[in-house]
Amino acid sequence: MTMTMTTTTTANDIARIFACQDGYQHRVRATSAEQRIAKLQALRAAVVAHLPAAVAAMAEDFGKPGFEAACEVAALLGEIDHATAHLAQWMQPVEVQPSASAAPGATARILREPKGQVLIFGPWNFPFALLLQPLVGAVAAGNVCVLKPSEFTPATSAVCARLIRTAFEEAEVAVVEGGPETAAALLELPFDHVFFTGSTQVGKLVMAAAARHLPSLTLELGGKSPAIVDSDVDLSQAAARIAWGKYMNAGQICLSPDYILVPAAQRDAFVAEVARYVQASFHAGGALNEADLSQIVNERNLRRLAGLIDDAVGRGARIALGGKVLASRRIEPTILVDVPRDAAIMREEIFGPIMPVLTYEDLDDAVNFVNGRDKPLALYVFSRRAAFVEAVLARTSSGGATVNDVIQHVAEPNLPFGGVGPSGLGSYHGYYSFLAFSHERSVYGQAAENPMEAFGRPPYAGKLEMLTSMIR
């Protein structure tokens, strides 16, 4: 396998790009809906042209199955198509009814104007879509943009750089490649908006560094997203849907169901159903079909995941399925049971193909366990009982939720996607991407005649008494 090395952009190049975009942003902000749609269509054409290269690059970087890589590209194209279909409407000023205290004839409206210079950090787990999906909103809103791909996926980073050069002038959209030192150099610059997708730990560093210039921020982070399974449920269907979300991309998904809570009486049946799904999905001729299972992105994360399994087993957990670390930098789809609630795997986001299956006695037990941890990016609840679903949603908090499935809320373009608290700040997708990269500017138009105008001006003699007599 050919290994691509990350290209590092120099500090001088970064300063030059920033200055160039600073001078160009005012031309871009004045573009019409038609002009921005043309830019999005150029981006779409470049994505389609680079599809084979993107799929090959993700396979090179971490063995991503071609089908999953193509799905990633398809999601990006869907985001572009949704934006081009609705952008003209999104850009229209929003007329607001002035309050009763306004002078007769006054007007109020909201203008969506671009924030200006935007910096987007992409993650390694979906290195193509999650770098370019935010760009769709940034371009739609009329911004100039610098993209920083992950250095952990250098082949995909290189494809993205070529793609962007095909679709945009550097003065409008540029790709800056490199490691942590490059990211630090970018955060020294006074961008107007910073968009980061990655871990909560690194998100805190980005937020602290960006605070020197007070840009607006979107932080798409993660956390331990639970799945709560009711006793009244189609157990086979629930297990298959949870397992699909857990083992896709080898669990390296911010929305992956991190741990599962099932009634104690149904645990073994649930584990058996997950094992049946794994056998049907990842085995052929009795052997694991490694081609359909992504690699762990690097040796450091592989060792971390192996350590989580060892720690849990050392504390009394049992491996009910899988558990082997393979020479190909893969981990078999794994199920852990009898996991102590203070094990390391229950304290940090797993981000790998390891499924702890915990039990609960009643709804209070399940809800209290979820609420005893940071607010997650997602929550999943499986039940045929509407009252059970609504009770879980009412008594917990998460960035988003899917009922009777996992991850699907992220695919609905009319819903905002984002976290809450430690799992993120702000949201995007569809219209919400356009808003994320726009400033909502309030515009008030005063009436020609304002009967209260003179009352509000000096001299104030006698006016205090009149004002206090009107306050009730």
Report the catalytic residues: 220, 254
Contact (CB, 8 A) for 423 and 223 = yes
DSSP 108-148: EEEEEEE-SEEEEEPPSSSTTHHHHHHHHHHHHTT-EEEEE
Give the burial class of 147: count Cβ atoms within 10 A of its Cβ; 0-12 exposed, 13-18 middle, 19 or more buried. Answer: buried
Contacting residues for 268 by C-beta, under 8 A, at least 6 apart: none
Q: Which residue is listed with tokens 């790009």?
A: 17
| DSSP H or E segment with residue 355 | strand 354-360
| DSSP H or E segment with residue 156 | helix 154-167
The tokens for 161 are 């750089």
Contact (CB, 8 A) for 338 and 316 = yes
Contact (CB, 8 A) for 353 and 246 = yes
CA 145 – CA 137 distance, rounded (Å): 11
Contact (CB, 8 A) for 357 and 262 = yes
- The helix/strand/coil state of 159 is helix
CA neighbours closer than 13 Å in the CB half-sphere of residue 355: 32
Residue 172 main-chain phi, psi, to 5 deg: -105, -50
Contact (CB, 8 A) for 270 and 236 = no
**H helix runs in 168-255, sequence order:** 180-187, 200-210, 235-247
Count of positions (residues) in the chain: 472
Closest CA to 54 of 41, 70, 68, 43: 70
CA 18 – CA 36 distance, rounded (Å): 21
